[in-house]
Amino acid sequence: MKYAVSVTDVEQAKEVESSGLEVMGRVERFGNCGYRGGNDQEYSAAFYDYWRSTMVIHRLVEHYFDRSLEKLIDSYQSWVTHRPFEYLHVYFVKHLGLTEKEAKELWFL
């Protein structure tokens, strides 16, 4: 998204998505669409998962991968071939050396 629209548009979209996360995160059923085995098929749950994923990717790129989407993709590709298998969120916690607080802020714990 960042490469296709203006900085102002990206910031406005992030603000709207953050507001949506804040409001929807207060309701227990949101975020259960498909993430980690959830089975709630409501559109609202799917949007919450989408918004949360968008924010996680933004935070990872901005704060852990030197503002480089390519570095995040490289890390993802390393995870794909990583053995033994572990879930992606667990891999990032270990690979990035995240504290428990940081991992929770990224919805990894």
Q: Does residue 98 fall inside a structural domain? A: yes
Distance from the Cα of residue 97 to its chain's centroid: 17
**pTM, whole model, 2 decimals?**
0.65
Q: Does residue 1 fall inside a structural domain? A: no
> Using CA atoms, how far apart are residues 101 and 37, in angstroms rounded to an integer?
23
Q: Does residue 23 fall inside a structural domain? A: yes
**Per-residue model confidence as pLDDT tens digits over 57-80:** 889 999 999 999 899 999 999 999
User: Which pLDDT band, with edges at 50, 70 and 90, does 51 fall under?
Assistant: confident
Q: Does residue 41 fall inside a structural domain? A: yes
Domain count of the fold of the chain: 1
> 28 vs 43, which has greater pLDDT?
43
Q: Could you tell me the residue range of the domain that residue 75 belongs to?
A: 7-105
